Amino acid sequence: WVAKRFFNIGAGEGAVDIQENYHQVVKEVTRLSKAGYFLKRFITEANKQAVEITQGIEVTEFKLGVEVVQDSCGPSKASGFSFDQYQTESESNHGIIVWLFEPRRSSTVSHWSGTNEYPPWHRHKLGSTLNAFTHYAYLLSLESTVLADLQSVLRIGFFHIQYAHPFIQAATTIDKDGSGIQVFGVGDHGVAGIDTFLEKHECVDRCRQLRLQRDGFATEPAPEDSDDDEAYLG
């Protein structure tokens, strides 16, 4: 396993304090949990409709850990936080040092989409499956969530394909002073990110086989040779 924390969220290295690290790690865990739920529903729906998809896709495993800080030693060197920082923030509700633990993976990573890029994979089974999965998750979330930056690695010792760290574009929550909040943390471009998906996503055959349209799920699958593509994305 590998322990991970946030040290740069766009404001420069060292700008992440203990509370910000807490919030970002929790958002990362939320992303992975939400993606796992969408994937489970997607696989169930594909099997129900007898649509062939790549088997063995999994969202990366993860564990959430809290660092035990001894007064005599202070935070670990790996945490990047000083004893003074810890003492200052430890009295707050989120003043604990948290870590995200994930299995050690191969450094060879395949990229299937970017933060704001959604290429169609018409001739690649896994790529096409993930195209359809992204479309399905968008509709299942009532058009409020888009999975982005999907990556996959072959898990060592298994024939399972994992994809890790999907960014999520979410309909941005507005707080009391009217400013936008990154609901899912780093990489969340909010409504603009969803609009980019709608502009760039091009339906592949598996989208049509699963009856995925722009505004919801079709009651009947589109024929493979159908020229009526107006209802579909792309």
List the CATH number of the domain containing 27. Answer: 3.20.200.10
Residue 46 pLDDT greater than 70, yes or no: yes
What's the pLDDT score for residue 66? 93
pTM of the predicted model as reported, rounded to 2 decimal places: 0.81
d(CA 37, CA 133): 12
Whether 205 is covered by a domain: the verdict is: yes
Q: Evaluate whether residue 225 is within a structural domain.
A: no
Q: What is the DSSP string of 164-203?
A: ---EEEE--EE-TTS-EE-TT-TT--HHHHHHHHHHH---
Question: Distance between CA 232 and CA 217 in Å, rounded?
Answer: 10
Give the E-state strand segments of 1-128 in sequence order.
2-4, 57-59, 63-66, 98-102, 110-111
Tell me, yes or no, whether 181 lies in a domain. Answer: yes
Closest CA to 27 of 75, 94, 104, 113: 94
Q: State which amino acid sits at residue 182.
A: Q
Total tally of structural domains belonging to the chain: 1
Residue 186 lies in a domain: yes
d(CA 105, CA 111): 15
In-domain check, residue 162: yes
Rounded Cα gap, residues 142 and 158, in angstroms: 34
Confidence class of residue 178 from pLDDT cuts 50, 70 and 90?
very low
pLDDT at 205 over 90: yes
Range of the domain at 20: 2-64+103-217
The structure tokens listed for 167 are: 């960014």
Structural domain includes residue 110: yes
What are the tens digits of pLDDT across the range 58-107?
Answer: 888 899 999 999 877 889 999 988 888 888 877 666 668 999 998 887 77
Q: Which two tokens stand for residue 43?
A: 């696989």
Domain membership of residue 57 (yes or no) is yes
Q: Assess if residue 79 is contained within a domain.
A: no
